[in-house]
Amino acid sequence: MSDKEHLLAAQVTAQNDAAAMFAAQKDAVEAAAAEPVTAEDTITAESDLTEAAEAPAEHDPARDAQAAEQSAAKAEFAHKSKIGGQALIEGVMMKGAFRGAMACRLPNGEIDLETWDLPAKFETDPKTGKQRIVRKWYNKIPLVRGCVNFVMSMVDGYRCMMKAAEKQFDEEVDDFCGWKKHEKIDKLSEEQAFEKFQSWFPEYRRNKELEKLKKDKEYQKQGDPDAGTIRARWEYLKKASENYEYEEPSKFEQWVEDKLGDAIFNVFMTIAMILGVVIAFGLFLYLPRLVVSFVKPLTDSQIIKSCAEGLVKIILFVAYMWLTGLGKSIRRTYEYHGAEHKTIACFEAALPLTVENVKKQCRFHPRCGTSFIFLVLLIGIFFGCFNPYKEVVPRVLFGLALLPVIMGVSYELIRIAGRYDNPLTRILSAPGLWMQRITTREPDASQIECAIAAMTPCIPENLEDDIW
């Protein structure tokens, strides 16, 4: 049995012992309450309590040894983890030293888990003789590793976000919801609704198979479903459609879907990504400098101008994150963000990954991406003091050129804040932790289950490979 299994076994045993002791105490109290109490009994009880208070506490050597073993194991396994994550649409993505995983809550209530291996090379440590991970060249160069890792995390995050969005759209469930609305099924009894479903589903299945045959001539038709299959799909689709947000497509949306087919989703998401980049560029790079340029007293000093531009950026960033959090879908994403932080904190505390243990953890984490972005804004104020240009467009282009340097410095600072806990790192982490009060929310049990499902495959067998 491994050390980690010993830790878990010790924790379970301690919990069982505590439950048994509580049950025994409860039975004793109930038995005592059932007997009549006399004045003599009261005096005797008070005397016993006094003697018990004066007597030295008895120690159970076995339990003391078990508690010491548990504390030592917890102290050994508690560490700052390399595992990081990202909140997705109805899910969480995690990345460890050797594996990545994403877990999404599907419309039918099930958790869909997808894992992938991360390439890694090993070498022998000349001091200890143990195997260790070979860091990639860019991870050995300060400032450079911050830019590269930021771009890579953005690419991975976007890929997982697109996958998570696709998983939330179930074509069969969507068609079922549309049929229910068109046929006004909710106004019928269970038997009447199922009778209509028995007529609709086989024809629906045949039409879908014809569509597949047009796309793939080698597709093998499955034939009409039998009575058992129809009943099973009825029960499944009823449950899956309970929390499914159905929106009837407009005539334009229907026309676009007929013309472009399955490619329409990728087209829209690509357009949304491009618009997002353009809006972010204009909102956080161009607009602050434009606003400050109209205030003449602020344009005389480079330092005052940089501070004013930075203040406008921070105000816009905080307002943007707060306003987007008012929407239902983004608010749920913020809840999954909190679940991700709590799960990582639970693992770093060497506690078993259970819903109860994760709930107790803090939802703020110093290595959060929100803290990184906020730190970029603050560091940008310092570097903005060296911007020699006064016109808006040259200042924007110079600031854009400095962005890789700013991200590199911010990454190094966030690494320090994530590795050490002292007054300096707490001051460094404070603004980002305050910001996380907006970008994280308290998760529910189902969201924590997703985070645990994504976290578990990313934990390496050798915890030394996970130390931050």
Question: Domain tally for the chain?
Answer: 3
Whether residue 89 is contained in a domain is answered as: yes
Among residues 27, 43, 77, which one ends one of the domains?
A: 77
Q: Is 307's pLDDT higher than 80? A: yes
How confident is the model at residue 10, as a pLDDT? 41
- Find where tokens 């991200």 sit: 407
Residue that finishes a domain, picked among 11, 46, 77: 77
For residues 109 and 129, give the distance between their C-alpha atoms in angstroms, rounded to a whole number.
48
Residues 88 and 32 in one domain: no
- pLDDT confidence bin for 261, thresholds 50/70/90: low
pLDDT of residue 48: 46
Query: pLDDT per residue over 385-410, tens digit each?
Result: 888 888 888 989 998 899 999 999 99
Residue 95 β-bridge partners: 84, 100
- Residues 26 and 98 grouped into a single domain: no
Residues 454/91, Cβ–Cβ less than 8 Å: yes
pLDDT value for 294: 83
Is the pLDDT at 356 greater than 70? The verdict is yes
Torsion of CA 104, 110, 113, 114, to 10 degrees: -80
Same domain, yes or no: 340 and 197: no
SS3 116: strand
344 inside domain: yes
What is the structure's pLDDT at 260?
Answer: 62
What does the block give as tokens for 332?
Answer: 């749920």
Q: How far apart are CA 142 and CA 415, in angstroms?
A: 11
Tell me how far the alpha carbon of residue 324 is from its chain's centroid: 17
Distance CA 22, CA 133 (A): 47
pLDDT at residue 36, rounded to an integer = 45
Looking at the fold, whether 321 and 384 belong to one and the same domain comes out as: yes
More confident residue, 362 or 213: 362
pLDDT at site 172: 87
Instruction: Report how far residue 418's alpha carbon sits from residue 365's, in angstroms, rounded to the nearest whole number.
Output: 8
Task: Look at residue 133 in the predicted model and tell me its pLDDT.
Answer: 76
End-to-end, the C-alpha distance of the chain in Å comes to 26
Interatomic CA distance for residues 344 and 60, integer angstroms: 34
Residue 256 token pair: 């676009």
In a domain, 130, yes or no: yes
> What is the percentage of the chain residues whose pLDDT exceeds 90?
33
**In the structure, how many helices (H) and strands (E) does the chain have?**
17, 6
Residue with tokens 């290595």: 367
Residue 255 has pLDDT above 80, yes or no: no
In the prediction, which pLDDT does 468 show?
Answer: 67
Q: What is the torsion angle, in degrees rounded to the nearest 10, for the CA atoms of residue 293, residue 296, residue 300 and residue 302? A: -30
Kindly report, residue by residue over 80-134, the tens digit of the pLDDT: 888 999 999 999 999 998 899 999 998 878 899 999 998 878 777 777 777 777 7
- Please report the pLDDT score of residue 197 as a whole number: 93
Which three-class secondary structure string do you get for 106-149?
Answer: CCCCCEEEEEEECCCCEEECCCCCCEEECCCHHHHCCCHHHHHH
364 Cα distance to chain centroid:
12
Higher pLDDT, residue 40 or 148: 148
* pLDDT tens, residue by residue, 214-242: 877 777 777 788 889 999 999 988 888 87
* 92, 161: one domain: yes
Residues 9 and 120 reside in one and the same domain: no
Per-residue pLDDT tens over the stretch 14-71:
344 434 443 443 444 344 444 444 444 434 444 443 444 444 445 566 665 555 544 5
Instruction: With H, G, I as helix, E, B as strand and everything else as coil, classify residue 173.
Output: helix
> 351 and 318 in one domain?
yes
Q: Do 162 and 196 sit in the same domain of this protein?
A: no
The predicted model scores a pTM of: 0.73
- Would you state the pLDDT for residue 254? 65
Same domain, residue pair 177 and 312? no
| Domain identity same for 381 and 431 | yes
Instruction: Classify residue 301: in a domain, yes or no.
Output: yes
Where does the pLDDT of residue 5 fall: very low under 50, low under 70, confident under 90, or very high at 90 and above?
Answer: very low
Residue 252 lies in a domain: no
Residue among 63, 96, 70 at smallest CA distance from 82? 96
pLDDT for 11 beyond 50: no
Strand pairing class (122-124; 111-117): unpaired
**Per-residue pLDDT tens over the stretch 416-440:** 887 888 888 888 889 999 999 999 9
Q: Average the pLDDT over 291-306 and give the result.
A: 81
Residue predicted with more confidence, 129 or 160: 160
Phi and psi angles of residue 81, each rounded to the nearest 5 degrees, phi first = -90, 150
Residue 349 lies in a domain: yes
351 lies in the same domain as 422: yes
Residue 63 lies inside a defined structural domain of this protein: no
Do residues 339 and 443 share a domain?
Answer: yes
Give the domain extent around 228: 171-243
Share of the chain above pLDDT 70, in %: 79
Q: Is residue 163 part of a domain?
A: yes
CA-to-CA distance for 435 and 363, rounded, in angstroms?
A: 12
